[in-house]
């Protein structure tokens, strides 16, 4: 065997789970469903599919392993392919939205929970699979929760299907009960003590506090890598720049620093860096979202800096409004985070919040299904043949209100008929790998004759952070942005950026000159290509353009985003049409500082205030024209 294969084999054998291979395999073969609980890093995700393969289960069908996060699916599939000494896409592959590396010879398939849900549309008994492993079950993401109910129902008719629920925390009873008292297997973990230090009080600016804590650890503590938990890409990019700027002023005898970010939308080729061994005389600082909490394990970490915050979806079912909120994590998450410092040796965790703040945290976070818009999963349920979405076997039942809001929204989008069944438009919408709102917009673009533009804009909205602004070049970055700016708003501006990028064939120099993230643009172009394929398959001509009159584009967006509208009040504030909430134009918008009468937005983001992001100017009279099912009931819009 090659030196790499030998090293990987040695690493496998050192995992706590390795010795339990026989016992685990036997239990799974003997039972229809099992729940496996084991410390993060014990080897569940990488090893158990290989155990089942060795036991012959892949001869009866593919093994699916779902992950809530795409980064985890990608990086773990690569790892397992390496361990088996095969090429990614042969025996082992991954499948995530807009990126499928599997082939007919793939037997172990890592995939996002959303992708498996989507496969139910074409294979409603999951016939290709011999086992479904629902991993990271403790996270209770919306899509994993729906899969619990779907696979349970499928197994009633397919006794041969194995269901394996894997969790990093000790909440196995809940899962076991739900799956008809499934057998629970505990995998012994290995965990060294972690000393935890709490701040005296929560710092106002936790990114800054993280910077200070990181440098303090770096200057004072012996070797070992540092893992910093933040809430999203923007913060991670900021802190990376701050660390790199400050690292230049370190005393010469201080070890060098390398900073590696890891977050959901980081392109696959950039992710590998975080797993590369740290060179001697260097300290690696990993800046991560909660993906490094339990989904992926990075070796070499001895120190954790925990901001205590995470970005989560939040939904107000009374008014049907969803937004992203940065909020304190749960105690369970805080413990997981500190645990990451003690996997290989005793470690140290620095919490940037006080002990009292920790005590006041909730024990566990609420399942996502209780706090998000259900429209997309209800559309998928309906399209998979589940008509009674109220009577569905939920592990935790969402509120009646939120189910009704979702049905109303789908009805207003035209996805449901008067009798609540899926319409033919709804069926088409379910086939697109997009949120129902964007599926509707893409399909409607045919009628508005602006498909070319709409596909580009949807692709651009799917990537994060198109523009970047270096601290020392604010002026130039602002000037560069003006080249693309369109006063109708961010949508057309984004379109201009992608058009510019296409016209120079993705030239890297052009991106640098314009302070545009080449990474994001490359990704957007890739997504665009795939959306074109989907649209053409539906008989939509994707070359149809509206030319220089942009109104059709914004009207087309309103046919989907009709709920995301805000009107200016006489005092100059903005109020949302649903819920009458006060919202603000985000400083990143080209409309910042302007005061249009009415705007549509694509996202609400709650930081210090409730901000709208990706905003464009609309005419209020378009509402009736574009969303008559929603605005045409004779009520004044403000009454909604
Ligand atoms: P669990 O699912 O129980 O948390 P995993 O199976 O994910 O554990 O991890 C087992 C081991 O595999 C860990 O030591 C981890 O460092 C290693 N590992 C997983 N993915 C990668 C990767 N992409 N690169 C390098 N090592 C990895
Ligand atoms: Mg795992």
> Which residue's C-alpha comes closest to atom 17 of ligand 1?
297
ipTM of this complex prediction, to 2 decimal places:
0.98
Which residues, chain by chain, have CB under 5 Å from ion ligand 2? 44-45
Q: Across all residues in the chain, what is the average pLDDT? A: 93
What is the DSSP pairing of strand 62-67 with strand 129-134? parallel
> Which residue's C-alpha comes closest to atom 6 of ligand 1?
43
For residue 75, the ligand 1 atom closest to its alpha carbon is 23
Which ligand is located closest to the Cα atom of residue 13? 1
pLDDT band of residue 640 (cuts 50, 70, 90) is very low
pLDDT, tens only, 474-492: 889 889 989 999 989 999 9
Residue 99: beta bridge partners?
96
Distance, CA 226 to ligand 2 centroid (Å)?
Answer: 20
Q: DSSP states of 262-291 as a string?
A: E-TTS-HHHHGGGGSPPPTTEEEEEEE-TH
Distance, CA 532 to ligand 1 centroid (Å)?
Answer: 36
Q: Report pTM.
A: 0.90
Classify 389 as helix, strand or coil: coil
Tell me the Ramachandran region of residue 541: left when phi exceeds 0, alpha when psi lies from -120 to 50, beta otherwise: beta
pLDDT band of residue 639 (cuts 50, 70, 90) is very low
pLDDT band of residue 627 (cuts 50, 70, 90) is very high
Name the residue among 344, 332, 337, 342 with its Cα closest to residue 306: 337
Q: Residue 26's CB: how many other CB atoms inside 10 A? A: 11
Distance, CA 43 to ligand 1 centroid (Å)?
Answer: 6
Which ligand is located closest to the Cα atom of residue 49? 1
> Which residue's C-alpha comes closest to atom 10 of ligand 1?
43
Distance, CA 110 to ligand 1 centroid (Å)?
Answer: 14
Of 41, 67, 80, 345, best ligand 1 pocket probe by most atoms within 8 Å of the beta carbon: 41
Of 46, 164, 227, 340, best ligand 1 pocket probe by most atoms within 8 Å of the beta carbon: 46
Residues with CB under 6 A from ligand 1: 15, 38, 40-47, 75-76, 78-79, 275, 297, 299
Q: Residue 4's CB: how many other CB atoms inside 10 A? A: 11
Distance, CA 207 to ligand 1 centroid (Å)?
Answer: 28
**Would you state the pLDDT for residue 319?**
64
pLDDT, tens only, 252-284: 888 999 999 999 878 777 888 999 999 999 999
Distance, CA 167 to ligand 2 centroid (Å)?
Answer: 8
pLDDT band of residue 633 (cuts 50, 70, 90) is low
More reliable by pLDDT, 62 or 605: 62
Distance, CA 366 to ligand 1 centroid (Å)?
Answer: 27
pLDDT at 471 over 50: yes
């Amino acid at each position: 065997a090659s030196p790499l294969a030998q090293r990987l084999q040695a690493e496998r054998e050192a995992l706590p789970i390795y010795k339990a291979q026989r016992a685990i395999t036997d239990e799974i073969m003997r039972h229809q469903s099992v729940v496996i609980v084991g410390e993060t890093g014990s080897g569940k995700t990488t090893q158990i599919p290989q155990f089942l393969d060795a036991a012959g289960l892949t001869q009866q069908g593919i093994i699916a392993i779902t992950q809530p996060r795409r980064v985890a699916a990608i990086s773990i599939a690569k790892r397992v392919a390496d361990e088996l000494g095969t090429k990614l896409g042969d025996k082992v592959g991954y499948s995530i939205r807009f990126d499928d590396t599997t082939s007919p010879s793939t037997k172990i398939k890592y995939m996002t929970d959303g992708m498996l849900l989507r496969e139910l549309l074409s294979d409603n008994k999951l016939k290709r699979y011999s086992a479904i492993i629902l991993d990271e079950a403790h996270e209770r993401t919306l899509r994993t929760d729906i899969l619990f109910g779907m696979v349970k129902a499928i197994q009633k008719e397919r006794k041969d299907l194995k269901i394996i629920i894997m969790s990093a925390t000790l909440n196995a009873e809940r899962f076991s009960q739900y799956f008809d008292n499934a057998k629970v297997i505990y995998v012994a973990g290995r965990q060294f003590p972690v000393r935890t230090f709490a701040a005296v009080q929560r710092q106002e600016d936790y990114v800054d506090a993280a910077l200070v804590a990181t440098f303090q650890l770096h200057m004072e503590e012996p070797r070992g890598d540092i893992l910093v938990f933040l809430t999203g890409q923007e913060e991670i990019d900021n802190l990376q720049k701050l660390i790199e700027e400050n690292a230049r002023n370190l005393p010469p005898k201080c070890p060098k620093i390398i900073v590696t970010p890891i977050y959901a939308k980081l392109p696959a080729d950039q992710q590998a860096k975080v797993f590369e061994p740290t060179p001697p005389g260097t300290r690696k600082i990993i800046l991560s979202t909660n993906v490094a909490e339990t989904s992926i394990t990075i070796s070499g970490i001895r120190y954790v800096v925990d901001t205590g915050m995470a970005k989560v979806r939040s939904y107000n079912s009374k008014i049907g409004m969803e937004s992203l909120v940065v909020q304190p994590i749960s105690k369970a998450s805080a413990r997981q985070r500190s645990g990451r410092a003690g996997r290989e040796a005793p470690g140290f965790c620095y919490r940037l919040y006080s002990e009292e703040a920790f005590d006041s945290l909730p024990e566990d976070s609420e399942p996502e299904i209780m706090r998000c818009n259900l429209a997309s999963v209800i559309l998928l349920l309906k399209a998979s043949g589940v008509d009674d979405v109220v009577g569905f076997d939920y592990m935790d039942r969402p509120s009646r209100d939120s189910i009704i809001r979702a049905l109303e929204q789908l009805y207003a989008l035209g996805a449901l008929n008067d009798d609540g069944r899926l319409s033919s438009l709804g069926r088409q919408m379910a086939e697109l790998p997009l949120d129902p709102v964007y599926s509707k917009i893409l399909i409607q673009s045919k009628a508005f004759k602006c498909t070319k533009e709409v596909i580009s804009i949807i692709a651009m909205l799917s990537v994060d952070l198109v523009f970047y602004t270096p601290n020392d070049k604010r002026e130039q970055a602002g000037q560069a942005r003006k080249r693309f700016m369109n006063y109708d708003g961010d949508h057309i501006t984004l379109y201009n950026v992608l058009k510019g990028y296409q016209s120079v064939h993705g030239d890297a120099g052009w991106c640098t000159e314009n302070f545009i993230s080449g990474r994001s643009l490359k990704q957007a172009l890739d997504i665009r290509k795939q959306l074109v394929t989907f649209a053409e398959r539906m008989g939509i001509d994707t070359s149809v353009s509206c030319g220089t009159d942009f109104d059709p584009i914004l009207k087309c967006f309103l046919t989907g985003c009709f709920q995301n509208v805000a009107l200016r009040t006489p005092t100059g504030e903005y109020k949302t049409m649903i819920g009458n909430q006060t919202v603000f134009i985000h400083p990143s918008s080209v409309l910042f500082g302007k005061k249009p009468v009415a705007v549509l937005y694509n996202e609400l983001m709650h930081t210090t205030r409730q901000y709208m992001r990706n905003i464009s100017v609309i005419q209020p009279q378009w509402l009736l024209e574009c969303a008559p099912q929603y605005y045409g009931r004779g009520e004044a819009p403000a009454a909604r």
